[in-house]
A and B are shown apart, each in its own frame.
Chain A
Amino acid sequence: DAKTTQPPSMDCAEGRAANLPCNHSTISGNEYVYWYRQIHSQGPQYIIHGLKNNETNEMASLIITEDRKSSTLILPHATLRDTAVYYCIVRVGGSQGNLIFGKGTKLSVKP
């Protein structure tokens, strides 16, 4: 499985965009990039995923570089409730793709 590297922590001002980077230089062609987050004491929550193209949903945008070796999760207008640990996971799809969580990035949104 491709390994991911994320900064251990980041700060963001409330109302500003939060840009969370993830390196996955060994990603293979059939592996997707997934983002989850875990707000304190809650279960992990799916945010977004992508293969090659940039993706956007109601929660966030995912920007994947053309060589697919890195990606950025963008929360366009961070709120205090976005304070959480964000996990970037690279994995194949289907039944063989059980998610393995790393250490993630602790995002602190500050007033």
Chain B
Amino acid sequence: DTAVSQTPKYLVTQMGNDKSIKCEQNLGHDTMYWYKQDSKKFLKIMFSYNNKELIINETVPNRFSPKSPDKAHLNLHINSLELGDSAVYFCASRVESGANVLTFGAGSRLTVL
């Protein structure tokens, strides 16, 4: 079983559209994350979320919103997509109180045309 699974793996869409990327973890972890990796390969944290607190990186546009229907899921919604949103998005999870041992998903490559 995949520990952290993301869907879709690839997503190609037009500017201005709204899209979602789903993430599910079956590890029983408390905290989930979204990271963005741009064309220069820099990995940047976008959000961290547990059932108590959402922490948003202040550089993330408000067109991006995380939605967590339950502890095992953290979906990423993106409104009004722009060319600069093209990137690989990684979901990750960890135990809240433990060490920073994150388990990452395989990534979702978003291409905005």
A45 touches B104 (CB 8 A): yes
Q: How far is the CA of A97 from the CA of B101 in the complex (A)?
A: 10
Which residues from B are CB-within-8-Å of A42?
A: 106-107
Knowing A41-B107, A43-B92, say if A49 contacts B43 (CB, 8 Å): no
Residues of A within 8 A of B55 (CB): 98
Contact A95 B45 (CB under 8 A): no
Q: Is the CB of A101 within 8 A of B42?
A: yes
Q: Which residues of A contact B102 (CB under 8 A)?
A: 36, 44, 46, 99
Shortest CB–CB separation between residue B15 and chain A, in angstroms? 25
Query: Interface on chain A toward B: helix, strand, loop, or mixed SS?
Result: mixed
**Which residues of B from 31 to 68 have beta carbons under 8 Å from A?**
31, 33, 35, 41-45, 48, 50, 53, 55
Q: How far is the CA of A71 from the CA of B24 in the complex (A)?
A: 34
Contact with B along A38-77 (1 / 0, CB 8 A): 1001111110010000000000000000000000000000
Out of A41, A44, A93, A95, name the residue touching B43 (CB < 8 Å).
A44
Question: What is the minimal beta-carbon distance from B17 to any residue of chain A, in angstroms?
Answer: 25
Q: How many residues of A contact B (CB 8 A)?
A: 24
| A95/B105 in contact, CB under 8 A | no
**Most interface-central of A93, A97, A98 (chain B CB within 10 A):** A98
- Bound-complex Cα distance A91 to B94 (A): 15
Q: In the complex, are the beta carbons of B100 and A99 less than 8 A apart?
A: yes
Contacts of A85 in B (CB 8 A): 41
Q: Closest CB-CB distance, A89 to chain B, in whole Å?
A: 8
Given known contacts A91-B100, A93-B98, A99-B100, A43 and B50 CB-to-CB distance under 8 angstroms: no
User: Nearest residue in A to B98 (C-beta to C-beta)?
Assistant: A93
- In angstroms, Cα B92 to Cα A36, docked, is 13
Known: A98-B55, A99-B45. 5 other contacts (CB 8 A): A46-B103, A94-B98, A95-B31, A98-B33, A100-B45
- Please give the residue numbers on chain A whose beta carbons come within 8 Å of chain B beta carbons, in ascending order: 32, 34, 36, 38, 41-46, 49, 85, 87, 89, 91, 93-95, 97-101, 103
